[in-house]
């Protein structure tokens, strides 16, 4: 078993708890280098997390001979270029979600990694979290019979005090690809791809109703999986109410669960309701990171690849008409 020595490009907030410590705590895994454009911030991260090396230039980290694989934890607008650079260096790539600004960029990334013969993984970590694996287990064992349709609903109040001068990057399409739908909806659609198979057709409506920023703040969609299962979804980011629910309905029951909230999933059948309260691990990306390390050591398989990540980007592009 080889210890995979990781480097992170973009050691920002997402890496503080969700992923960074996971690289250190996964078996046969070690975080040896981090990079951030502001060198003092990279140094601070390295010192606080016990990482031996830090850089302020991505190229230096990519070409460090002691870095075996690279995690790209920057906003989506730089995912493609960094992925191409890492692939050219002959190293495996683990990229944050959404995979890129659009499906066309995903295709370029896939082609580059294929040409370089390096694997490409995407950080849709719900595919390995125990709570979500319970959903998959219930579906696989036929707990709700044959699946008929899916309902997705994610409603959030408007973010207060946004001005053109202080917009977060997640609502700036030139950085994020679109608005919050790309950031949050991607997790929901990707997990459904995992448990129900690929979505074959999708269409939608999007608009900006509140005028806080230029990106869409409401999205409605309908979609059909290759299996024939149908689905609808509504995402509204300027709502009075808050709601976070995915509902998978079959001919003998349904499964309801939150994608982001810490809430039990509920199985409903003719026998009544059964709740499963399964907590997340301290570092939510660690189980997926472990699957990548196992994959690279050829003793396991990571379920979140460039191919699956690109499918989710394709669906979102179809919904938004991109």
Question: What number is the average pLDDT over the span 222-234?
Answer: 98
Domain of 216 in residue numbering reads as: 130-279
- Phi and psi at 80, nearest 5°, equal -65, -50
Q: Are residues 206 and 249 in the same domain?
A: yes
Q: Does residue 247 belong to any structural domain of this protein? A: yes
CATH number at residue 96: 3.40.50.720
Give the model confidence (pLDDT) of 274-318 as tens digits: 999 999 999 999 999 999 999 999 999 999 999 999 999 999 999
Identify whether the C-beta of residue 94 lies closer than 8 Å to the C-beta of residue 71: yes
Q: Are residues 109 and 249 in the same domain?
A: no
Identify whether the C-beta of residue 248 lies closer than 8 Å to the C-beta of residue 255: yes
Put residue 184 in one of left, alpha, beta given phi > 0 → left and psi -120 to 50 → alpha. Answer: alpha
CATH number at residue 242: 3.30.360.10
Q: How far apart are CA 128 and CA 179, in angstroms?
A: 26
Instruction: State yes or no: pLDDT of 100 exceeds 90.
Output: yes
Alpha helices per DSSP H over the chain: 13-14, 20-25, 39-49, 58-62, 79-88, 103-116, 130-140, 173-176, 180, 186-196, 286-296, 306-320
Q: How far apart are CA 16 and CA 143, in angstroms?
A: 37
Q: Does residue 201 belong to any structural domain of this protein? A: yes
Least Cα distance to 219 among 209, 208, 206, 231 occurs for: 206
Give the model confidence (pLDDT) of 149-164 as tens digits: 999 999 999 998 888 8
DSSP β-bridge partners for residue 150? 231, 248
SS (H, E, C) 115-137: HHCCCEEECCHHHHCHHHHHHHH
């Amino acid at each position: 078993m080889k210890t995979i020595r990781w480097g992170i490009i973009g050691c920002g907030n997402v890496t503080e708890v969700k992923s960074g410590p996971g690289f250190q705590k996964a078996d046969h895994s070690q975080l040896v280098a981090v990079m951030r454009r502001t060198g003092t911030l990279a140094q601070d991260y390295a010192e606080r997390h016990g990482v031996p090396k830090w850089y302020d230039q991505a190229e230096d980290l990519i070409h460090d001979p002691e870095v075996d694989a690279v995690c790209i934890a920057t906003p989506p607008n730089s995912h493609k270029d960094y992925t191409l650079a890492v692939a050219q260096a002959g190293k495996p790539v683990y990229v944050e979600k959404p995979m890129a600004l659009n499906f066309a960029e995903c295709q370029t990334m896939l082609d580059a990694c294929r040409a370089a013969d390096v694997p490409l993984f995407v950080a849709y970590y719900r595919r390995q979290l125990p709570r979500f694996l319970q959903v998959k287990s219930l579906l696989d064992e036929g707990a709700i019979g044959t699946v008929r349709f899916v309902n997705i609903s994610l409603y959030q109040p408007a973010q207060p005090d946004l001005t053109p001068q202080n917009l977060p990057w997640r609502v700036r399409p030139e950085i994020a690809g679109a608005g919050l739908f790309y950031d949050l909806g991607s997790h929901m659609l990707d997990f459904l791809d995992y448990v129900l198979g690929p979505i074959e057709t999708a269409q939608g409506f999007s608009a900006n109703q509140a005028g806080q920023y230029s990106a869409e703040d409401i999205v409605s969609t309908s979609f059909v999986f290759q299996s024939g299962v149908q689905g609808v979804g509504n995402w509204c980011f300027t709502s009075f109410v808050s709601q976070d629910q995915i509902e998978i309905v079959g001919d003998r029951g349904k499964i309801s669960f939150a994608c982001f909230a810490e809430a039990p999933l509920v199985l409903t059948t003719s026998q009544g309701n059964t709740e499963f309260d399964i907590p997340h691990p301290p570092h939510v990306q660690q189980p997926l990171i472990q699957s990548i390390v196992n994959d690279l050591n050829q003793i396991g398989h990571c379920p979140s690849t460039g191919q699956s990540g690109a499918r989710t980007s394709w669906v979102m592009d179809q919904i938004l008409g991109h």
